[in-house]
Structure 1
């Protein structure tokens, strides 16, 4: 994994740009997928989905998320009235016709980020609470070495001054713990994709 400049996201012709003119790009990261070609994005997404999610993360990362959800429950940050469709509208309401008809990708209760749309090169999910409306954009692009690579951009629209303070406070935890842990999990998922696919087929 390597951190990329925001321009690595903003200058690429992703469809997400049509929907997020009122969001700011918070983070852009790239993940190594050696040997990947232009058509391998679905295989990467499938490997990520069968790699175990948060349950397979390190104890420090699981602890951080447990603390965050506990605080959210105590302070009401994650109540339905603060979420997508209540405090803010879903990005799905902004989709042009072709993306509205495209597959969204699977959702499950263990994944708080909910699918917006999915194409051959992009997967977009969103989450809103009392602090922020955030979008996770996964894109598939050619890297400097010629192979294709996974890129993740986090776009945010903080909820006022409190939301901006919240994003500033959690930045060190994202950069030092959460993103490195994601790197290990997602890059391992790519390396082990055939094994993961076989295991998923047996379930």
Structure 2
């Protein structure tokens, strides 16, 4: 479910102190029935076990295949346009306590790379020729008392071209990608198993 941006900006996330030059693009919630305040690692483990794009429906895979093909043809995703090249990593801005915190594991199924991970929030990032994007995952108590996962997308478009690109893909995000992501992520919670132990082993510092 899409939420107002204020549901992100009004909470005291650590990431706020690092992202004054980013804009809040989307805030989305994912239902996790029965979840408690200590279940954020369990949810992250469930997402990791779910397999990313490999388990998305065919239409979503098709859209991303087109995007990657265009990126290859137009040079959008070259290493020179990524994190550590065109833009500095958000990790370069971290204060000492966040720099020393676990990042969370990376793998080939997740193009967004880990920045940091805390008990109630985690951040990942991706950059290319169009935009520098952050995905913030937060663990929040919902109206019914259960905790739920909230995803906020923050962006720093690369000039006018980046803003045009974000506007062009917005209908696809809202009508196809986010609904599919909701089904996948909420399903990951429902079908969670003992993935948390494996996830904890994969954390890096």
1:51–1:196 CA contact under 8 A, matched in 2 = no
Q: Which structure 2 segments of 5+ residues have no match?
A: 200-205
1:82–1:129 CA contact under 8 A, matched in 2 = yes
Q: Which structure 1 segments of 5+ residues have no match?
A: none
CA gap of 1:198–1:131, structure 2 versus 1, over 3 A, is closer
Q: Following TM superposition, by how much is the alpha carbon of 1:97 offset from its aligned partner in structure 2, in angstroms?
A: 0.3
1:189–1:196 CA contact under 8 A, matched in 2 = no
1:60 maps to 59
2:202 maps to none
1:8 maps to 7
The TM-score normalised by the length of structure 2 is: 0.94
Task: Please give the per-residue CA displacement for 1:4-43, whole angstroms capped at 9, x wherever unaligned.
Answer: 1000000100011011000000000100001100000000
1:33 maps to 32
1:132 maps to 131
2:186 maps to 187
For these two proteins, the number of residue pairs brought into alignment is 199
The TM-score normalised by the length of structure 1 is: 0.95
Equivalences for residues 5-154 of structure 1 within 5 A: 5-154=4-153
Structure 1 moving runs of 4+ over 2 Å: 194-200
2:106–2:114 CA contact under 8 A, matched in 1 = yes
Q: Following TM superposition, by how much is the alpha carbon of 1:194 offset from its aligned partner in structure 2, in angstroms?
A: 2.3
Task: Please give the per-residue CA displacement for 1:78-98, whole angstroms capped at 9, x wherever unaligned.
Answer: 001111111100000000000
Calculate the aligned-residue CA RMSD, in Å: 1.5
Q: Following TM superposition, by how much is the alpha carbon of 1:196 offset from its aligned partner in structure 2, in angstroms?
A: 5.9
Q: Following TM superposition, by how much is the alpha carbon of 1:123 offset from its aligned partner in structure 2, in angstroms?
A: 1.1
1:178 maps to 177
